[in-house]
Amino acid sequence: MSNSRKWDQINRIVIKIGTSTLTNPNGELNFEHIKNLLREISYWHNQGKEIILVSSGAVAVGAHRMNFSQVPKTMPEKQALAAIGQGELINLYEEMFAEYQKVIAQVLLTRGDFDHRLSYLNATNALLAILNLNVIPIINENDTISTVEIKFGDNDTLSAMVAAMLNADMLIILSDVDGLYDCDPRVNKNAQLFTEITNITSEMENSSLNRGSSFSSGGMFTKLKAARICMSYGAHMIIANNAVENIISRLLNGETLGTLFIPRYEKMQARKKWIAFGRLAQGTIVVDAGAEAALANNGKSLLPSGIIKVIGAFDRGALVAVENAQGYEIARGITNYSSHETGLIAGCHSSDIEKILHEKDYDEVIHRNNLWVEKS
């Protein structure tokens, strides 16, 4: 895919605004700054771009409203603050966007909405209907009702999953950093900014751990996770510093700012996208190097012979992650056999399945039509 920053073909854009962009370090809303960003968003919306805003800030705004000097640690307290802050936040967006004659729609999502195919399709259709009405959706996680199991936990991941769900052309993550560096710029003055990335390496991921600000949940690690999702389904992603004046316009006008993540593939088929990012994996199948190569290079189905072990308990039809022997997730798919059955036939030839299980409905543990493979 082209890596020049000519964005004429980019029409549907998800913009993620983090807590550190919306608030001052003491948690107070930075009205002037928010206003500037909304003015820019309104301008691009007037140019015919479809814009979806993913906004954090509910917990921080709630904390400020209740005079907390920092965000409390317990889940119920955070959930209470999210409920308090989300109202104030959306009210602010409503008022500020009204100045530009823009209508907004609040959409609060949980991880569970992506997990079930039907609710995933419902949410997709509702968001598409909002866009058709020329309205700007403002999305946040429904923190108040999200339990650990159904939590994204950070809006970087949420914004990438929303981008994938809506088949957006680009995700812009506005943050308090210039982009991805080769090491932590707060610690090392000689840190180099990556301007373009076509491949996220494990070194990048390892060195990105623990880089975030006090009020936000994400950090560089979750931004890389988001980039991985975008690159896999076929969209561009940019991490850029919200403090740069007119940042959105400068990015959309093609200036080389921030870090651009470039997808190498055309957009993914909708069903595969849901397999890849929609559902949570219910277990893991670990495969050997031979199976890894067969899946990655030859687009083959996963056969029992390449399976080393099974982790977790799952039924037939479950969505499972496929990991290589080094513990790196290389694929996801819908399994034909339960965890128990897969464990019994692991390492065996497909012709032995009947002998072992006393029945054989499939030769493959995961058929390639039901498999999404991460391209390296």
How far apart are CB 217 and ligand GLU at their closest, in Å?
4
Site for ligand GLU in 25-64 (CB under 6 A): 56-60
The size of the interface with ligand GLU (CB under 6 A), counted in residues, is: 15
Q: Taking CB under 6 A as the rule, does residue 217 contact ligand GLU? A: yes
Q: Determine contact, residues 215/82, Cβ cutoff 8 Å.
A: no
Pairwise CA distance, residues 316 & 323, whole Å: 18
Task: Give the Cα separation of 257 and 194 in Å (integer).
Answer: 10
CB of 362 to ligand GLU, least distance (A): 40
Q: Identify which of residues 82 and 251 has a Cβ nearer to ligand GLU in the complex.
A: 82
User: With binding defined as CB under 6 A, does residue 19 bind ligand GLU?
Assistant: yes
Q: Are the beta carbons of 114 and 161 closer than 8 angstroms? A: yes
Nearer to ligand GLU, 30 or 249 (CB): 30
Q: Minimal distance in Å, beta carbon 147 to ligand GLU? A: 14
- Among residues 179 and 306, whose Cβ is nearest to ligand GLU? 179
If the CB atoms of residues 140 and 342 are measured against ligand GLU, the closer one turns out to be 140
The tokens for 113 are 């909405």
The residue type found at 92 is: L
Provide the 10 A C-beta neighbour count for residue 110: 20
The two counts, helices (H) then strands (E), for the chain are 14, 13
Cα 12 to Cα 2, 61, 215, 256: the distances in Å are: 18, 28, 29, 20
- Binding to ligand GLU (CB under 6 A): which residues in 120-159? 140-141, 143, 154-155
Would you say 208 or 217 has its CB closer to ligand GLU? 217
Residue showing tokens 């029409």:
11
Scanning 300-357, the segments in alpha helix (DSSP H) are: 339-345, 353-357
Task: Say whether residue 242 binds ligand GLU (CB under 6 A).
Answer: no
Q: What does the binding site for ligand GLU look like in residue numbers (CB under 6 A)?
A: 19, 56-60, 82, 140-141, 143, 154-155, 216-218
